[in-house]
Structures are given as C-alpha cells and as structure tokens.
Structure 1
Amino acid sequence: MKIAFIGAGSVIFSRNLINDVLSFPALQDSTLSLMDIDSGRLDLIRSLTERIVSERGLPTVVEATTDRRRALDGADYVVVMIQVGGLEPFEHDIAIPLRYGIDQSVGDSLGPGGVFRGLRTIPVLVDIARDMERLCPNAWMLQYSNPMAINTWSLYEAADITVVGLCHSVQGTAKQLAGYFDLDFDHISYWCAGINHMSWYLRYEYDGEDAYPILRTVFDRPEIFEKDKPRFEVMRHFDYYVTESTHHMSEYTPYFRRTPELVEQFATPRWDYLELCKNGWQNHYDEVRRQAAGEIPVIPERSNEYASVIINARETDEPARINGNVRNTGLITNLPDGCCVEVPIFVDKAGLHPAFVGDLPPQLAALNRTNINVQELAVQSALEGDARKAFQAAALDPLTSSLLDLRTIQKMVDDLFAAHKAWLPQFGG
C-alpha cells in the first residue's frame, strides 16, 4: 500500500497525520511518499518520518520527492494539504478587504479571502486530480486544503476520482463543547450535518439523553458564554450549536463584524490567523527539527484527524464513522443538489457511504444556503476563468454585502485580482 502526502512541507500537520497512520498496525507495512515543492521542509519531514519508523522498528518505507507525479504513481491514497503561494497571497486576502472595511479574522474559507484562496488553489488541485486519473485512478483523495467546500466541490466537478474533504471541526467542537460543561466526552454521542464550518449538531446526547437542556444553561452562565460568544448567540436565536469557531462563524454571517462595537462585543479577544501563521511557523519548524534530531520525542498519540481512520477502515474492513465533505446527492434534502455538504459517512472495505440526513431545520438550511451561494459562484469562477463570477461570489458574501455597495465590492475585487495575478493563470494572469 502506498500513501502519498502532497504538501508534506506543512510539517506539523504532516507529522500528526503520519504519526496517526503509523499508529495502526495494519498500515505500518506501507510506503509513505512525501512530496513538497520546498525541498528544505521536505527534507525535514522525511528525516522525522524516518526517525519515527526507525525508533519504533517498523517496516514502513519512506520516500521523499519534489516530483508530484512520482509521488502519485501507484498510490492508493493521496492526502492533500497545500497552500498555494504561501503567506504572500494570504496577506493580500486579508489586507485588501480590510482597506474597504471588511475585517476578516481568518479569511480562508468564505468572504473575499476565502474566494480568492479558492481561485488560486483550485487549478493546482485539479492538476493533482488529473494526474491521479492517469497514475492512480483507483486511489482516494483525502482533501484537507481550505476553503474546504469550494475546493472539494471543484474536484468532483472537474475530475473523475474518489474524493472526500476532511476537517477536524465536527469532532473537535463536539469535544470542546463537552469540556465547556464538564461532561465526560466518552459519554457523548452526536449526529451532525450541514456544510463545512457550518454544520449543526442535530443531536447532541450525554449517556443517550438529549444534552441540549444542559447546553442552554449557558445563557445563565456568562463564564461559559464569554468563551464562545458568536456560536452561543447563534444557538440562542437559531436553536442549534454550530461546528466552527467563534472567529470563523463571526465571518460567515452579517451579525458580528459589521462595526468595531460588534467586534468588541462578540469577537474578542481578537484572533488573527494570518499573524499566527507568520509568527508561529518558526517555532513549529524548530519543534519538528528537534524531534527529527532525537532531542525530543514524538508521542505516539493519535490526533483527531480522520485520514488514518479512513485508510484503516478500508484496508481492514473494520467499519468507522466520520464526518466528511462530499457532493450532495439528496443527502440533505433542503440544500441544493450538487453542492458540497458535510455529513456522517460510514467507511469500510466497500467504500465511503455518506448517510442520508433529510431536511435540516429550515432556519439552519437557510443559513447554509447563504454560504453555498458564494461557494457555487467561486467554483464556477475558478473552473471557467470567469472574473465576473468571482465578483458575484464576493457580492453575495453575507458579511461583505452587509458592509459595501456593489460598486465598492467591484473595486475591491479588481484590487484583489491585480494583487493575485501571479497565482491566477486561468484568468490570464
């Protein structure tokens, strides 16, 4: 069995996923093919992986290459975690909208930042998928790159491969929520569906009993409410708890970031993902370097990411249930057919089996559709090279449209296109 890691230079994320894979006995006799265009980062993650394999006495074969096709050739699984252009275009995603009054805390999944991250990422993802069609047509792509829904939607539109988009927000938030209320997570069960970063805990149970009455006590417990104000405020008015963080959720709706006063009320303390990426990468790099040198150990503890669980379930036929992002083929009946939905998925040797959810509560579907509108036009813009659809995607973004008129949005989009020219070949850049 061969597992290709595309974008393996994301050293912390790669380390965690590789550690996860090697924690399953059935996956240890495999080839891990690490690929990145940054040879320095690639060499570091190769050294770390070889050390893990050696210290644990595993039969795993480790390869490293800057040649994507070599990594893909004969692969059974392709784990993708790329960031096209690195931090430079990400700075444009944040700084240009900010000049127009759009204050994005994360800016990687929706809004102007998410749209343009998608526009520059999709051509590379589609190239990877088309290489897979030729070199490993039966492989599964486990897609981790944001904007998750936009990227995954583009892949099943443009290529004939098996792809599932993976995120940690469903399982991560379920555990976080239990922690807020001092509930033992081993006794929690849930059923969650919607779209990526805006899925809903349709059921959240403790020892088999509905836990929402416990969750609703938050409105009388300011010490908990203050930890996650936008999400609890959404639950107050829309009845269900949402998966993604305060900082993401505050960007996906028009309710929390329109004025400095609202930001102060609902989105503090401030959290800037770009600044964390710029200021934190050296510490992460140094940590992995020390692990690769044997100065500090790699703890063989499995993360909450789903990639290794999926691979193990398929290889061993030990069924697993995850939440993943796939095409809506009537799975959520009041969201558009063909959009990208995040639903429970059962995995075994026979494949990926997305669960039928049916109708979401109408208020939740309505919130999801405001984001799906943006995602659909962003996908079409990227695949068709249609700049007008990129503008329309930005103009339909809930936060952007609550702040700017159409002519100003057009100026902002024009500025974003000018700044991103080098990364947008499909637009003649």
Structure 2
Amino acid sequence: MVKIVMIGAGSHVFAKNLIVDFLSYPELRDSTITLMDIDPERLNLTAQLAKKIVDQYNFKTKIEATTDRKEALRDADYVVISIRVGGMEATRLDLEIPAKYGIEQAVGDTLGPGGVFYGLKHIPVILDICHEMERLCPDALLMNYTNPMAMICWAVNDYSDVKNVGLCHSVQGTARQLARYIGAPPEEVSYWVAGINHMAWFLEFKWKGEDAYPLLRKRFDEVDVEAGLIPEWAESDLVRIELFKAFGYFITESSQHLSEYVPYLRKRMELIRKFRVRTAAERLQLMDVWRARSDEQIETLLKSEEKIPIRRSGEYCSYIIHCIETDTHGRINGNVKNTGLITNLPQGCCVEVPCLVDGNGIHPCYVGDLPPQCAALNRTNVNVQELGMRAAVNRDKELAFQALLLDPLTTSILSISETRRMVEEMFEAEAEYLQGFK
C-alpha cells in the first residue's frame, strides 16, 4: 500500500484524470490518495468525485483531503505537484501587462515575461514543499507538472535533496499527432526525443521500424504559409511546421506555446494572424471558458448516476508509480538534471530525455550531442531559464530583468529601457505574490 499525495488537487479535471489513472492499475487500488489544496471548496469537490469513483467500483482505495500541506506530506511515497500561485488573477497580470508593451503571449507560463514571472512566483513555493518533504517523507519521489518546468526542476535539483522528475504530455501527445499526419496507427510509431521541456526534438521518428521523416516532409510540403497554402489539417500547427522546415527536426509542444520561445513569429500582429496563434486577450477569454467548462463537467459527473469510466490518460505519472511498485520495465520522457546526458547543452541544466523506469526508480538515458542547430536554439531558452531560476531563488529583481534581456520574444520587441519599465510594473502589480524580492 502506497501513499500518493496530490498538491493542487483543486484543479478538478486534471486531478480527476490522474485519480482515474491510478485506479486503472489493480496493483494501486489499495493505495491512499491524499488530496491537498489551499482552496477548501474546490478541494472538497475533487474529494467528492474521487470518493464517488472508488465507491462505484468498490475499490479499497482510501481518499483523504486536507488543506494542511505538512499533514498531507507526512509519510508520502509519491508527491504530485500541479499548482498555480495567485490563481487566475496573477496569470491575468502576467499576460496583460506585457501586452501593454506589445508582447502578446499565447500561454505565458514557460518563457517570456509571463514564464519568468511564473517562475518567480512558483519556485519559492515548490522549494518550500521540497524542504518539507526532506523532513516528512525523505524517500518520496516528487513528480512535478507545474510550469515553468525547466526552471522549477533546475531549482529543485540545485537547492534540495528530493528525488524528482518533471512530467509533461508534449512528447507522447506530439507523437500521436505526427502519427495522424502520416496516417499511421499511434501504436505502430516509435521515437527518440531529447532537448529541453517544450522544445525537445524528434531525433528519430519511425513507423514499423522505418524512418518516417520522409513521409512527414512530403506531408509538410503541402503547407506554404507565405503563399497562403494552408490545408485544414495544418491550421493549428503552422509554427512547428515552419520551424521544422528551418531546423530539420520536429519539436514537441504546441504551436501556440512554441511561438513564444522564438523571436520570429510574434513581433508583429500581422505575423500572429498569419501563423494563427493567439493573443493575450484571446488566451484569457479561453481560460475563462475552460474553467467554467471544468467546473460544469465536475458538477455533471457528481450528479450523474452513471459509472465514471476507468480510462487511462496519456500522462506518465501513474505509469511511473506502477512500474516502480511492480518492478515492471517501462519508458518515459522526463525532465531531469543534465549530468552529461546531452553533451552540447550546459551541465546541470534541466533536459528532457528518454528515461527507463523499473523497481529501482527512474534512469535517464544518455543522448550525446544534439544536432548543432537544435542545441543552439535550446541554449537561447536555457540562458533565460538559468537567470530566471537564480532570480527566484535569490529573490533578485535585477536577475529577473536580465533574464528578460536574454529572452527571444522580449528582445524581438522591446529595448532595454522598455524591458526595465515592464519588469518594474510587473513587480509592482504582483507584489502580493512576490514577497521578499529586492
């Protein structure tokens, strides 16, 4: 019997999906799942839903719910973190203030002004959690889903002793998408992917053991944004297709996200429209819609008399726990410390690489050199990640400013003095969530 702790369980739909994932493995059905969130109302809804699923199937799973983080962490075996410091209010500021300066972000949680300030808010909180884990559950494995993934994992690796891995669905999600592009069943494709979170590269993509890149190139030849040749299937992925043609390898994460990490496609509204990516205002509207739908979905599930299906999602979390607990051999892509795994990215940074999993834990795989152009583009992001992470750990406003002086999107639009003004305005507006910064 293991204890799985979910911090940030008020995120209803994501928490529900992970709970169903855990329960999909018979070997995990005698676990204790402890739900923790600072919002008691949202926490209560998630707990009600979890208990309903357990009761519907007569599982022996124990569901606990608490707003006390230390109580939740005590004697945990696995800790899953998915939090949003400051909630929607802080996210709104991360998007709206840069937009005043001409920086339109589609998501704003990984790089750019939004990503750096997301890191400033989240890293101190997550390091506090890590230090509590060192005392209350020193052998537990931390699985982080919170962005900015690379900055957070880098900080956890450098400033705590907690075993950890950063998890994202972009690799497996992109693999399924590429399979659709070439008409292949997802179970027949294989891949070798490495780089950094949200910018990892499909170094190999195969169908039935044969190189499938020629099929992808042929498919992408149907797309020419400049000429206005945009098939319906490509409409939501123009950024990644454009970068594939420029760099030669396909990148993980969506075109919406990726457009924020490079200097080419958001410097003018004309480009934003041409590549069909969202503005900050459009993102905020969508977030309001998504949150309303999420709440509505949970209420519907709670009222329904039908059984909630035990259908596994594509998230790695439950798969990892199952592999470790049953000593089953598995493979994931995880975000880990670069201990020479990718030889032309900085030592110590956070890299996303293939990892093997078994009863002894998670074992990252050696990759070697990335293609030079791929590593070079990654390094433009790693520079920002390091300064953003150091700024958060040291509560240093100047380092945060300097991080954005290296940010590809920010520097494609703002001067040094304009960047300074934007950073000062963001610190002032978000002071409630940024205690102790000097």
Measure the CA separation in 1 of the matches of 2:279 and 2:116: 23
Q: 1:214 to 1:98 in 2, by over 3 A?
A: same
CA contact (8 A) 1:246 1:267 kept: no
Measure the CA separation in 1 of the matches of 2:236 and 2:63: 42
CA contact (8 A) 1:148 1:196 kept: yes
Measure the CA separation in 2 of the matches of 1:269 and 1:379: 27
Q: 2:264 maps to which residue?
A: 255
Q: State how 1:194-209 maps to structure 2 within 5 Å.
A: 194-209=195-210
Measure the CA separation in 1 of the matches of 2:365 and 2:284: 35
Q: 1:382 maps to which residue?
A: 392
Report the alpha carbon displacement of residue 351 of structure 1 after superposing the two structures with TM: 1.4
Q: 1:116 maps to which residue?
A: 117
SS in structure 2 of the partner of residue 426 of structure 1: coil
Q: 1:22 maps to which residue?
A: 23
State the one-letter code of the partner of 2:206: E
SS in structure 1 of the partner of residue 260 of structure 2: helix
Report the alpha carbon displacement of residue 219 of structure 1 after superposing the two structures with TM: 3.4
SS in structure 2 of the partner of residue 29 of structure 1: coil
Measure the CA separation in 2 of the matches of 1:150 and 1:267: 28
Measure the CA separation in 1 of the matches of 2:328 and 2:185: 26
Q: Please tell me whether residue 133 in structure 1 is matched to residue 142 in structure 2.
A: no
Q: 1:353 maps to which residue?
A: 363
CA contact (8 A) 2:176 2:186 kept: yes
Measure the CA separation in 1 of the matches of 2:5 and 2:364: 24
Q: Please tell me whether residue 54 in structure 1 is matched to residue 55 in structure 2.
A: yes
State the one-letter code of the partner of 1:22: L
Measure the CA separation in 1 of the matches of 2:111 and 2:236: 23
SS in structure 2 of the partner of residue 326 of structure 1: strand
Q: State how 1:18-417 maps to structure 2 within 5 Å.
A: 18-222=19-223, 223=231, 224-268=233-277, 272-417=282-427
Measure the CA separation in 1 of the matches of 2:198 and 2:306: 34
SS in structure 1 of the partner of residue 334 of structure 2: strand
Deviates more, 1:329-338 or 1:274-283: 274-283
Measure the CA separation in 2 of the matches of 1:256 and 1:46: 43
Report the alpha carbon displacement of residue 269 of structure 1 after superposing the two structures with TM: 6.8
Q: 2:227 maps to which residue?
A: none
Q: Which runs of 5+ in 1 are unaligned?
A: none
Measure the CA separation in 2 of the matches of 1:296 and 1:401: 53
RMSD over aligned Cα atoms: 1.2
Q: 1:64 to 1:245 in 2, by over 3 A?
A: same
Report the alpha carbon displacement of residue 289 of structure 1 after superposing the two structures with TM: 2.0
TM-score (norm 1): 0.98
Measure the CA separation in 1 of the matches of 2:391 and 2:306: 46
SS in structure 2 of the partner of residue 427 of structure 1: coil
State the one-letter code of the partner of 1:203: E
Deviates more, 1:175-184 or 1:129-138: 175-184
Measure the CA separation in 2 of the matches of 1:267 and 1:250: 10
Report the alpha carbon displacement of residue 270 of structure 1 after superposing the two structures with TM: 6.2
Measure the CA separation in 2 of the matches of 1:90 and 1:142: 23
Percent identity for Structure 1 against Structure 2? 51
Measure the CA separation in 1 of the matches of 2:222 and 2:324: 44
TM-score (norm 2): 0.96
Measure the CA separation in 2 of the matches of 1:16 and 1:382: 31
Report the alpha carbon displacement of residue 295 of structure 1 after superposing the two structures with TM: 4.2
Q: 1:36 to 1:269 in 2, by over 3 A?
A: closer
Deviates more, 1:267-276 or 1:351-360: 267-276
1:35-70 deviations in Å (ceiling 9; x for gaps) = 011111111111111111111111111100000011
Q: Which runs of 5+ in 2 are unaligned?
A: 224-230
Measure the CA separation in 2 of the matches of 1:133 and 1:361: 38
SS in structure 1 of the partner of residue 191 of structure 2: strand
Measure the CA separation in 2 of the matches of 1:233 and 1:261: 16
CA contact (8 A) 1:218 1:225 kept: no
